A and B are shown apart, each in its own frame.
Chain A
Amino acid sequence: MGILFSFAVVVAIVLLVFAGVSGAGLNYLFAVIIPYIALLIFIVGMVYRVVNWGRSAVPFKVPTTGGQQTSLPWIAANKLDNPSTSYGVIGRMLLEVLLFRSLFRNTKAELHSGSRLIYGSEKLLWLAALAFHYCFLVILIRHLRFFVVPVPAPIEFLEFMDSFFQVGAPLVYITNFLIIIALLYLLYRRIGMPQIKYISLPSDYFPLFLILAIAISGILMRYFDKVDVVGVKQIAMGLVSFRPTIPDGIGVIFYIHFALVCTLFAYFPFSKLVHMGGVFLSPTRNLANNNRMIRHVNPWDYPIKSRSYEDYENEFRDKMKKAGIPVEKE
């Protein structure tokens, strides 16, 4: 159900843009108004989400420890999986954000002959996730060439690297195809693996279909249904300089691609995609395991009355005296 629903929504967006541009001539709406709105929603939404999380208190320091603690000097501590200093925490976060360290631990449990649990290594999810995120990042950065004149050297270099195995023109980017493979694998997990299918919501399929559609429309317009790149750059430059222009003769495929991207941006703050910001705020990862060294203060701590020793002794004094246990009041 969720699969069809999400797929249908993406198809509907594509059809809507197609009709809007080629039928009703709503080029300005799709190339100017919606992009501005989407970007605004993205920025305001993400800032709101992160600020909102940030406003929630961190009453206790509860890192999940993934290695030996720092204790006696002759015992080697695992400074990254169980950091006790801020540097360690930064290291742990870098590993987490840049290399998906926790996902790298992934195992797959199987029950053999009804009696033996075996834990195999399961790195495909890690690999696909890493491939997808890095491809997305590279593609995003590559697209900056549309928004700046002249194109900065780092972007040119990235393009060069990304098309390293290229023969002929136009440049074929490795990431374009890797991202599709990664997305298809992630989609396969949700459709082909019963457990993952069971936990998946429409909001899990939707971003996959949406980003797939973005990638496919991008590839189509680059290699097959080629659009006027100069015109596209004019639109992009117009948007960043707040003097929007719409040159004629840009294929509808561009508008579809662009509208899908806008959908992604606008959808982002309302979805699970906010994990992009949330991962930095996860208290089980971004805190040091040094509570016994440095006191953590609970900002909303309030006084609690508990049983006093006096109360305790009053109840048990006779028994204590009889047993020869010292008491405060004889």
Chain B
Amino acid sequence: MATKGKPPKPEELSKISYTPPSKGWMDTPVEFKPGMYCHGTRAKYLEAVGMPFPRDWSASEADWKLPDNWKEIVLQGIKERLQKFRTFHVFMDICVRCGACADKCHFFLGGGDPKNMPVLRAELLRSVYRKYFTTSGKILGKAAGARELTEDVLKELWYYYFQCTECRRCSLFCPYGIDQAEITIIGRELLNLLGLNIDWIMGPVANSYRTGNHLGLEPHTIKANIDFMIDDIETITGIKVDTTYNRKGAEILFIGPSGDLFGVPGNYVTMGELMLFHEIGLDYTWSTMACEGGNFGFFTSMEVAKKLYYKIYSEAKRLGVKWILGGECGHQWRLMNQFADTWWGPPDFLEEPVSPITGTKFENAKGSKIVHITEFTADLIKHGKLKFDKSRNDHLKITFHDSCNTARAMGIFEEPRYIINSVCNHFYEMPESTIREKTFCCGSGSGLNAGENIELRMRGGFPRANAVKYVRDTFGVNMLANICAIDRAALPTLMDYWNPGMDVCGVHELVGNALVMKGEIERTLDLRTEPLPGKGGTE
């Protein structure tokens, strides 16, 4: 659907100037640069979930076919949200423009557009807020940093609020914790009041509503895809692993990102998980409806996000499981950690999660009853329940990319590192300012991993790629591990562009490689069914 644009060559793209123009930002109208924005959403997707003003429109055309009272709708929308979100209200008022956030945004670092400094991205909306909701803005106008809401301003908001991946890096450095992700979320809600979403978000939303997953995989396809993986696992290990779908009475419901059910390298993560669950004899099931922990509704509006997450607890209830195990996905964990229970809880029909293998109580998940798979696996390893042959990952020199959401909306840093160090011999960290809570986005999060905005994505991913390049050149790193499906979809393209030859994998692919299974044949292939160097395979 998306036409792939061709970005300029890396040498061209990395010529970045951080010096802003002399003309003030309020006097600089937005310019829609090809490769830097996504297609507007088609009407059918909005209709699928009952969202307002469905119509086919194009961002590059002058007429966005706005409703006559669009301005009133936006202003009313702002007013409501000031009352409904203290984040938004406080963040509209207290910024002192100290500029600490300015050079923390990957889009600014990769592009140099001053309106991508988080402070200015916020000011785009703050200026409107001041004009209509503050005394000083009403009286003093521009001198108080206020401006009229015009169609150009609306378009500017659209352009730049879909040039933010809601990664929260700015929020970490802000002395008041002002979080551009919150402001972007509200900004996108406002745009969605006018039907101004992007196709790449709205398509997955519509899919997810109908089939339960972004890719639109129907139940039999999910099974067929997993069957393929099971066949591959048999080829690699000689073991036929088994799994079940929609099985009532299973102890655990496993929900990962649908990206791991379709396409490389996500499917290798699922293979690793299938092998792990088989090896420990876990009593678990898939739900073909709750087969997606990710939620593009979150990039649309809180209401749509909540709507798409209904399936999580309702399927757990219908199937009568005890608790939920969540897979390797970034924004899934923003939601499972910070939203799921508030939206559809309390899940009092579930039990406090206990690992059936080690007996460990997951105290930190006793309310929501959702455990992260790296918490689960790290616990298994700590208790010596798994046997590994680390040498099967010896051909890999690994670095780990912390995903924005799991880093700054959760803080799961040690678990994946503990697992990687348990299953691999060669692990190297990227520079300190680019990992853990300070991690950089892949450049394609929050629904921006489309094809038509490829230049934006390559720019946004530049700081991440730059840090990967450093460990490649210094330590010979050749594998970029992560715990996020969007990373696995976006980073290969980013690496091909900036650091050709760098591979991308999920953590449980590494687990699957190293896992010594009872009754397995001598491994000569890795999970990608490529020969394992030095393991008797044909190299």
Query: Could you tell me which A residues sit within 8 Å of B by CB distance?
Result: 1-2, 5, 49, 52-62, 64-72, 74-76, 78, 81-82, 84, 96, 100, 102-103, 105-109, 111, 114-117, 119, 125, 129, 189, 193-204, 270-272, 274-275, 278-279, 281-285, 289-298, 300-301, 304-309, 312, 315-316, 319-320, 322-327
Contact = CB atoms under 8 A, between A and B. Distances in A.
Contacts, number: 326
Of listed A49, A107, A117, A270, residue having the most chain B CB within 10 A: A117
B365 interface: yes
30 contacts: A1-B24, A53-B93, A57-B85, A64-B168, A64-B171, A67-B413, A69-B410, A71-B364, A75-B414, A84-B364, A102-B177, A107-B433, A129-B175, A199-B123, A270-B135, A278-B94, A279-B177, A284-B171, A284-B179, A291-B367, A292-B370, A295-B341, A295-B346, A301-B343, A306-B310, A306-B311, A312-B212, A312-B289, A326-B246, A327-B246
A196 B177 contact: no
A105 B172 contact: yes
A326 B248 contact: yes
A64 B367 contact: no
A293 B365 contact: yes
B87 interface: yes
Nearest to A300: B84
B100 interface: yes
A193 B98 CA distance: 11
Given A75-B414, A270-B136, A325-B245, A195 B15 contact: no
B453 to A, nearest CB: 22
Size category of the binding interface on chain B: 35 or more
Interface of A is mostly: loop
Nearest to B360: A72
A323 B223 contact: yes
A200 B218 contact: no
A69 B143 CA distance: 44
Interface in B371-410: 372, 375, 378-379, 382, 407-410
Interface of B: 14-16, 18-20, 24-25, 82-91, 93-100, 102-104, 109, 114, 117, 119-120, 123, 134-136, 143-145, 168, 171-179, 182, 209-212, 218-220, 223-224, 245-248, 288-289, 302-303, 306-308, 310-311, 314-315, 318, 336-339, 341-343, 345-346, 360, 362-368, 370, 372, 375, 378-379, 382, 407-415, 418, 431, 433-434, 436-438, 462-463, 466-467, 470
Given A109-B103, A295-B345, A312-B212, A282 B365 contact: no
A174 B171 CA distance: 34
Nearest to B307: A306
B175 A119 contact: no
A165 to B, nearest CB: 30
B95 to A, nearest CB: 7
